[in-house]
A and B are shown apart, each in its own frame.
Chain A
Amino acid sequence: ETGVTQSPTHLIKTRGQQVTLRCSSQSGHNTVSWYQQALGQGPQFIFQYYREEENGRGNFPPRFSGLQFPNYSSELNVNALELDDSALYLCASSLRQASSNYGYTFGSGTRLTVV
């Protein structure tokens, strides 16, 4: 059973550029969420995907967008990068059930630096 893998591990971009981060979910998981973790803060929810559709969104602007593919892997796209977008981006997968939350499996994250 594989865990959640993210790529790349580190990335440096210039303000105004666009970036795509990738995530492979844990085997058997059908839900993927993305979180942004600024230095010294807890992770903040960006959005969640289930069955290839956005299933909820946090307080992030539309320039943050995502995709989920039939194999449950996912992408996070950020357009028009700003300096404040510098953070660790975490992907987390889970198995969506009708009952309670079984918790997420997190990836190691992608460290994005915008200069």
Chain B
Amino acid sequence: AQRVTQPEKLLSVFKGAPVELKCNYSYSGSPELFWYVQYSRQRLQLLLRHISRESIKGFTADLNKGETSFHLKKPFAQEEDSAMYYCALSGERGNTGRRALTFGSGTRLQVQP
């Protein structure tokens, strides 16, 4: 079975501080990992995918297969980064559909001025 764990429900930092949102996964194959973000009163939207190795809004995430982690990082937090962040996994196995997403329970990031 595939599982995504986000151990922190809430992460509060001050503006300009580094941010690391933790994500660990359980999957026996080669997963695709994503970070989704939901700003206040907005819909869930894709932030970044591990396969593209991109940096979006200053955020990066590296897939560590040894530690089965996909932590989201940003060196200097901004107030506009305050949002709910979800880590998600897409796998090919099982009967859930080739590209179904398994989400973590989310971490709320609060960036204080």
Q: Do A and B come from one complex?
A: yes
Query: A residues near B, CB below 8 A?
Result: 31, 33, 35, 40-45, 47-48, 55-58, 90, 92, 94, 96, 100-109
> Considering only CB atoms, which chain B residue lies closest to A102 in the complex?
B49
> Considering only CB atoms, which chain B residue lies closest to A58 in the complex?
B96
A to B CB contacts below 8 Å, 20 in the list: A31-B99, A33-B101, A42-B4, A42-B6, A42-B104, A43-B44, A43-B103, A45-B100, A45-B101, A47-B97, A56-B100, A57-B96, A57-B97, A58-B96, A58-B100, A100-B51, A101-B99, A104-B101, A105-B46, A107-B43
Residues of B53-100 whose CB lies within 8 A of A: 86, 88, 90, 95-100
Residues of B within 8 A of A94 (CB): 99
Whether B99 and A96, one on each chain, are in contact in the complex, defined by CB atoms closer than 8 angstroms, is: yes
Smallest Cβ distance from B53 to chain A, in angstroms?
12
Smallest Cβ distance from A26 to chain B, in angstroms?
12
Query: B residues near A, CB below 8 A?
Result: 4, 6, 32, 34, 36, 43-46, 49, 51, 86, 88, 90, 95-106
Smallest Cβ distance from B75 to chain A, in angstroms?
24
Residues of B within 8 A of A100 (CB): 32, 49, 51
Query: Given contacts A100-B32, A101-B32, A107-B43, are A45 and B105 in contact (CB under 8 A)?
Result: no
Smallest Cβ distance from A61 to chain B, in angstroms?
15
Known: A40-B105, A103-B49, A109-B43; 18 extra A-B contacts, CB below 8 A, are A33-B97, A35-B101, A42-B103, A42-B105, A43-B103, A45-B101, A48-B97, A48-B100, A55-B97, A56-B97, A56-B98, A56-B100, A57-B95, A58-B96, A90-B44, A100-B51, A105-B45, A107-B43
Please report the C-alpha to C-alpha distance between residue A1 and residue B96 in the assembled complex, in whole angstroms. Answer: 29
Residues of A within 8 A of B51 (CB): 100
Please report the C-alpha to C-alpha distance between residue A94 and residue B17 in the assembled complex, in whole angstroms. Answer: 35
Smallest Cβ distance from A113 to chain B, in angstroms?
19
> Considering only CB atoms, which chain A residue lies closest to B91 in the complex?
A101
